[in-house]
Structure 1
Amino acid sequence: MQFHSIPVTPFQQNCTLLWCEDSKRAAVVDPGGDLDKICAFVHKRGLRLEKILLTHGHLDHVGGTAALSRQLQLPIEGPHRGDQFWIEQLPMQAQMFNFPPVEVFTPDRWLAQGDIVEVGDQQLEVLHCPGHTPGHVVFFHRPSQLALVGDVLFAGSIGRTDFPQGDHDTLIRSITERLWPLGDGVRFVPGHGPMSSFGQERRTNPFVADKRFG
């Protein structure tokens, strides 16, 4: 599995392209906006987009979803149904943050804990990791030990929980009970900022380091 992240929107959200090297079939994860940048990379690499994957329903992660889906006839998979209310509020989110108008959409497939999504010949495991939002999911490619964690976890920090239906204790449990068991060697692409590994965060992250729970 190959991947490349493109910062999009004024929030510099990491939109990530995943593709199967053999087939060149690809998925775009969290197309928050700046669709020209995303499509330019797809064209440059000779990829064939086959679907959109979403970690959660916040504007900077899903703002370009409806337009890209319609433009390229792409199915939408994710997030968990718990984030339906966020998607329904996209026009209000866009107005609040001075974004261009954004369309509401309905995913072709809501995702749940234990689901599998396919990108070309590759499979990603779905982990439901609420806390930042109630319907947040994480995508994990076990063969390459790569996770796309959205706004659950960052290098040196964790996701905000002061939004509607956010919950700090739930987020901590999602990280420690669903992400850490995947292994310290797992590298992850966060929704914002640089990559890190679960092992690094278990050693040094002030919010979820092991020493906090010893």
Structure 2
Amino acid sequence: MLQVKIVPVTAFQQNCSIVWDAETKEAVLIDAGGEPEKLKAEVEALGLTVKALWLTHGHLDHAGAVGALTKAWNVPVIGPHKEDQFWLDMIQEVSARYGFPVPEPVHVTQWLEGGEVLKLGSETFEVRFAPGHTPGHVMFYNKNYGLLWTGDVLFKGSIGRTDFPRGNHQQLIDSIHRECFSLPDETQFISGHGPLSTIGFEKLHNPFVAGKAG
């Protein structure tokens, strides 16, 4: 059985997801964005063994704890797409600019392109390539539980910013229609910030994309 605990981290309140198999207690962290000691304490309290760190994209509030946790747990870093390499290369510089603690460097073990299938216990997760917020953004979809991790692509009532370097608004809109709205309406998604929502709700009510052609 798949279990999820959302742990908001950093001043940006980024939703880091601890995702685990209830039988094996094997876990992954999706977007370990900061506060590595807090995340380690959560994992220890749950009695989990972390097998990998998954990244939707390279922004500091999604990847800021990855370097430290990789050292602590000696686990691979999976994702994002290689087009986000430049964001990960700048993570220390950008963190200092925002007044965040300067994190450990992030070294990706496996870049993703979209279409890959990642495994955790008996569960599988489809990688969906969704550029626009960043050029190398990916999402993770578990069909069995109808769960999608959208990172900063789609939020409840909003969409990701595209005013960062190499952001592209039309590309983001296209990604949402192609990679999010193609999923069943009842699909629940966990975004990088804020509350959960469903694909069907956003199709009807999200002012940025509702009722608009892809």
What SS is found at the alignment partner of 1:7? Answer: strand
Identity value in percent: 44
What SS is found at the alignment partner of 2:181? Answer: helix
The equivalent residue for 1:55 is: 56
The equivalent residue for 1:158 is: 159
Q: Distance between the aligned counterparts of 1:104 and 1:23, measured in 2?
A: 30
Q: Matches of residues 193-204 of structure 1 in structure 2 within 5 Å?
A: 193-204=194-205
CA deviation after TM superposition for structure 1 residue 96, in Å: 1.0
The equivalent residue for 2:105 is: 104
* CA displacement, residues 114-169 of structure 1 (integer Å, 9 cap, x when unaligned): 01111222111000000000000000001000001100000000000000000000
What SS is found at the alignment partner of 1:132? Answer: coil
The equivalent residue for 2:10 is: 9
The equivalent residue for 1:177 is: 178
Q: Distance between the aligned counterparts of 1:78 and 1:198, measured in 2?
A: 23
Q: Matches of residues 1-214 of structure 1 in structure 2 within 5 Å?
A: 1-210=2-211, 212-213=212-213
CA deviation after TM superposition for structure 1 residue 213, in Å: 3.1
What SS is found at the alignment partner of 2:93? Answer: helix
* CA displacement, residues 71-110 of structure 1 (integer Å, 9 cap, x when unaligned): 1111100000010000001111111100111232221000
Is residue 23–residue 121 contact of structure 1 (8 Å, CA) maintained in 2?
Answer: no
Moved over 6 A (4+): none
CA deviation after TM superposition for structure 1 residue 15, in Å: 0.3
What SS is found at the alignment partner of 2:107? Answer: coil
User: Which AA in structure 2 matches 1:213?
Assistant: A
Q: RMSD in angstroms over aligned alpha carbons?
A: 1.1
**TM-score between the two structures when normalised by the length of structure 1:** 0.97
* CA displacement, residues 57-82 of structure 1 (integer Å, 9 cap, x when unaligned): 00000011011001111110000001
User: Which AA in structure 2 matches 1:131?
Assistant: G
Q: Distance between the aligned counterparts of 2:131 and 2:50, measured in 1?
A: 28
Q: After superposing the two structures, state which structure 1 stretch, 96-105 or 63-72, moved more.
A: 96-105
Q: Give the paired residue count.
A: 213
Q: Which runs of 5+ in 2 are unaligned?
A: none
What SS is found at the alignment partner of 2:27? Answer: strand
Q: Distance between the aligned counterparts of 2:79 and 2:156, measured in 1?
A: 24
Q: Which runs of 5+ in 1 are unaligned?
A: none
